[in-house]
Structure 1
Amino acid sequence: MAARVSGLAVGFLCLLAMLSPSAQQSPPPDSPDLKSSIDTDTPPLPDIRPPPSSPRGYELDVPPRNVTCKDTDGKRPGCTGTCPRRCPQCIVLCPDCKTLCHDEVQMPRPVPPPAMLVFGDGQFDNGNNGYLEPPNYPYSGTGRLSNGANLADAIAYTIGFPQSPLPFMSLRGRISMWGANYASVGAGIRNSTNGERSIPLSQQLEDFRTTRALMGIMLGGEAKLRAYLSKSIFLLGIGSQDLDPRWNIHLANSTEIQSLVALYGEAVTSLYDMGARKLAIVNVGLIGCAPQIFDYRYGCDESLNDRAAAFNAALKPLMAGLASKKKGLFYSIGDFHSFTTTVFADPSAYWMVNIRDSCSFTDHPERTCSPQEEHWFWDSEFMTDQACRLTATAFYYGPPQFTAPMTFKALLEK
């Protein structure tokens, strides 16, 4: 795996020092003096690369969640009411958009959970890869592979957070009590996926273990920590890299999908043992239809899509089995594969015009197509801001065919 910057190592040493017997004797771990030495929500230390932040202007680009959607932009095909383009709830939930768009109906802003912890790959990384050595920094300029928000950002906003949790690597040993993002572009379930050039899932779990230790100190003990984490949301979306033979040499083995699902189960069990009780899972989408794969003569690579479908099918009984054995474990699987299939079958129903081409140029990211919100793909693999917001809305509100066994909204209410 790519080497970490020295600042993170310093953070680990500081943590070990705080947890050592001598540090626990004077002052005790839950004393105000020790807590004051842990800087909460403090920006990262200066770095030659500016720390990634939430996409500027994103919050201003969508209607306030506590204000009625207005009939401003046009009618979506098949809807009984007029749905504004910038209201993802209206677009995704049609034919319920008439209810959502009426002036007398308001969309209340959800109350967010105490914290959000994010694990996954490039759909969720909001800046961690910029701190690897050598840097593997996304070319969007915000630490994300998107023209605005990525899927982790969009889900965070949808469930009520004012912004997405900070990337773990930017915290440099500090703590944010409302969560952190551990995801990494190119990461896999297997450590060897993508040639170990990213932060694999196993290391992301270890990074959370570091966060967990600091949270325990801040909250004053294991019991309070577990109560805090039990109400928090754990977002997990990974596997697309593992299912692509370009990045996973083990796919030549006919049992590789079963092996990946088993490793996935071990990761979920590890999260549960560390206190996770609410898991929002995003399965693998139509990886064979990304612009870097799609061919205008032959269409999508259905072998990749079939592999994703097989992995997703095995994920359902895995999670059902774990939930039946792990007391208090609740989960929701956002069916990314089903949602993208639905959108691609009728793009105009979701205000999409182009689902085949990327909306930016890798060598010249400042050159983008317009209007970007009509494109599904921002680059050769990852989604635009608008596509991310539509996906997050589908997982939070429904309809039922896009989540199982419950919506993200129902999961948060558990």
Structure 2
Amino acid sequence: MDSKASALLVLIAFMLAVADGSDGGGGALGASYIFGDSLVDAGNNNFLPTLSKADIKPNGIDFKASGGKPTGRYTNGRTIGDIVGEELGQGHYAMPFLDPNTTGEVILYGVNYASGGGGIMNATGRIFVNRLSMDIQIDYFNITRQQIDKLLGASKAREHIMKKSIFSITIGSNDFLNNYLLPVLSMGARVSQSPDAFVDDLISHLRSQLTRLYQLDARKFIIGNVGPIGCIPYQRTINQLNENECVALPNELALRYNSKLKNLVAQLNDNLPGANFVHANVYDLVMELITNYDKYGFTTASKACCGNGGQYAGIIPCGPTSSLCNDREKHVFWDPYHPSEAANVLIAKQLLQGDPKYVSPMTLRELRDLNL
């Protein structure tokens, strides 16, 4: 049987499962709708005139589904979103919304709206010229939502979205790195807004965005907080830090935001009937890998595997002329900004069935199996 015929059979089986109201067997995830930035972008930026792209080698060198060719993922292999979808039984990687092939029944497996450079605020990432902000990503989901109605009919569509789909949000890092902390573009805002005022603005916008997804029938959410952005190879390189040092200000801003995000998740769980918001403590998860990297089989948590410039290869993004490490599975960071697939696997594992300090009030497996 050729691959096209096999894919068709999988689609038919999936459609029948949706039609009879079952879950596709064995607690399989119906769909994964992914929102966020370059940490989970699966190729949307390939279809934008933007300075933020990962469609060149050696990005994707370990991504088996493409035979090691770049797909627009900002890592050497799978993103956290890819790994989580696989582990939860999703039949197909969530396709990028902007890909012309993301049409018809394939959207019932999920759609990826994430965009490198995107943020909660619409002004975030202007330095890249084009990117999809969170507001635009939700606009695009609204289009998908109407397409699902046409595919399944209103009643089955609502059931598919509410009961069988998980909405994953990984956003916020760029709002600091490529907005508030970028003097060229944000000097005016930083003069007029204190860090707390800026964080409050972010939380207010995110509250509205998540509520809007709820109004479009989203009920199962996983919300990631901002990681230790002061510890990425780029920050360590430009600030000429020692291996075990991180830049204080970005991490302090992330922690201020994360504290208020945790409160927001609790409020939304209390105030939106039928919704289940899971909080992913990405900051502590990644900090654990950085601090105790050798315990997890890594040899470095400071140097980018693929990059150029400075002590930690942290200035020039990954591309054909970059230095490339031979032991990719031994690096926490793939490039100056993004984790390697090996790190993504460990992060995803904790979100799927991990410690409550990393994922609460339930794991992603529990969220998937929740009967609303």
CA distance 1:211–1:384, shift in 2 (3 Å): same
TM score, norm. by length of structure 1: 0.71
Distance 2:220 2:351 in 1: 14
- Alpha-carbon offset, residue 224 of structure 1: 2.2
Distance in 2, Cα, partners of 1:194 & 1:134: 10
Q: Is this contact kept in 2: 1:115–1:178, CA < 8 A?
A: yes
- Aligned with 1:341 (options 283, 287, 300): 287
- State the SS of the aligned residue for 2:169: strand
User: How far apart are the structure 2 equivalents of 1:404 and 1:126?
Assistant: 26
- State whether structure 2 residue 157 is matched by structure 1 residue 225: yes
Structure 2 unaligned segments of length 5 or more: list them: 1-7, 12-24, 60-69, 308-317
Question: Do the aligned partners of residues 134 and 403 (structure 1) sit closer, same or farther apart at CA in structure 2, a change above 3 Å counting?
Answer: closer
Larger deviation: 138-147 or 113-122? 138-147
Asked which structure has the greater CA Rg, the reply is 1
Which amino acid in the other structure matches residue 376 of structure 1?
V
The answer to whether structure 1 residue 379 and structure 2 residue 335 are counterparts is: yes
Letter of the 1:130 partner, please give it.
N
Find runs of 4+ consecutive structure 1 residues off by over 3 angstroms.
Answer: 295-298
Contact map agreement 1:282 1:334 (CA 8 A) in 2 = yes
Distance 1:142 1:302 in 2: 34
The aligned amino acid for 2:47 is Y
1:165 aligns with 2:165: no
How many Å separate the matches in 2 of 1:185 and 1:251?
23
How many Å separate the matches in 2 of 1:406 and 1:344? 25
Equivalent residue number for residue 327 of structure 1 = 273
Task: For 1:130-145, list aligned pairs within 5 A.
Answer: 130-134=46-50, 136-138=52-54, 139=56, 140=59, 141-145=70-74
Displacement of 1:136: 4.3
CA distance in 2, matches of 1:340, 1:110: 31
**Secondary structure, counterpart of 1:358 in structure 2:** coil
The 1:246/1:112 distance shift into structure 2, 3 A limit, reads farther
Q: Secondary structure at the match of 1:331?
A: strand
1:119 to 19, 23, 35: 35
The one of 249, 253, 270 aligned to 1:303: 249
Paired position in structure 1 for 2:324:
368
The Cα shift of 1:213 comes to 0.3
Q: Secondary structure at the match of 2:95?
A: coil
Alpha-carbon distance between aligned partners in 2 of 1:328 and 1:209, rounded to the nearest angstrom: 20
Amino acid at match of 1:155: V
Q: Distance in 2 between matches of 1:305 and 1:282?
A: 15
1:190 aligns with 2:121: yes
Corresponding position of 1:279: 221
Alignment check: 8 A CA contact 2:43 2:71 kept: yes
> Cα offset for 1:246?
1.6
Distance in 2 separating the partners of 1:384 and 1:110: 30
Corresponding residue pairs, total: 309
Question: What letter is aligned with 1:262?
Answer: S
Q: Per-residue deviation at 1:406?
A: 1.6
Stretches of structure 1 lacking an aligned partner (at least 5 in a row) = 1-38, 43-108
The answer to whether the 8 A contact 2:29-2:85 is kept is no
1:197 to partner: Cα distance: 2.2
Deviation readout 1:30-79 (Å, 9 max, x if unpaired): xxxxxxxxx9x99xxxxxxxxxxxxxxxxxxxxxxxxxxxxxxxxxxxxx
| Distance change (3 Å), C-alpha of 1:348 and 1:204 | same
Question: What amino acid sits opposite 1:227 in the alignment?
Answer: E
- Equivalence for 1:315: 261
Identity of aligned residues (%): 28
Query: Of residues 107, 110, 113 in structure 2, which corresponds to 1:179?
Result: 110
Measured in 2, the distance between the counterparts of 1:385 and 1:274 equals: 32
Is the alpha carbon distance of 1:393 and 1:110 closer, same or farther for their aligned partners in structure 2, counting shifts above 3 Å?
farther
Match of 1:8 in 2: none
Q: Structure 1 residues 303 and 136 mapped into 2: Cα distance closer, same or farther (>3 Å)? A: closer
The DSSP-based 3-state class of the residue aligned with 2:35 is strand
Distance 2:368 2:321 in 1: 37
1:211 and 2:127 matched: no
Q: Structure 1 158/110 Cα, relative in aligned 2: closer, same or farther at 3 Å?
A: farther
Alignment of 1:239 onto 2:239: no
Find the aligned partners of 2:151 and 2:79 in 1 and give their Cα distance: 30
C-alpha RMSD of matched pairs (Å): 2.3
For residues 136 and 151 of structure 1, the distance between their equivalents in structure 2, rounded to whole angstroms, comes to 19
Distance 1:111 1:368 in 2: 40
More helix by share: 2
Give the aligned residue type for 2:42. N
- How far residue 172 of structure 1 moved from its aligned partner, in angstroms, is 5.7
Q: Deviation at 1:171?
A: 3.4
Question: Residue 17 of structure 2 corresponds to which residue in structure 1?
Answer: none
Q: 1:349 to 1:220 in 2, by over 3 A?
A: same
Specify the alignment match of 1:65 in structure 2: none
One of 68, 72, 75 as aligned partner of 1:146: 75
Query: Taking structure 1 as reference, are residues 251 and 340 closer, same or farther at Cα in structure 2, changes over 3 Å only?
Result: farther
Letter in 2 for 1:119: F
Verify: 1:408 aligned to 2:369, yes or no: no
SS at match of 2:268: helix
Q: Is the 8 A contact 1:355 1:375 kept in 2?
A: yes
- Give the superposition deviation at 1:348: 1.5
| Residue deviations 1:343-384 (CA, integer Å, cap 9, x gap) | 222112211111001001334367521211110110000111
Per the normalisation by structure 2, the TM-score is 0.78
Provide, for residues 313-334 of structure 1, a one-character-per-residue CA deviation record: whole Å limited to 9, x for no partner. Answer: 1011111111111110001111
**d(CA) in 2 for partners of 1:395, 1:347:** 18
Between 1:225-234 and 1:166-175, the stretch displaced more is 166-175
State the distance in 2 between where 1:297 and 1:136 align.
Answer: 26
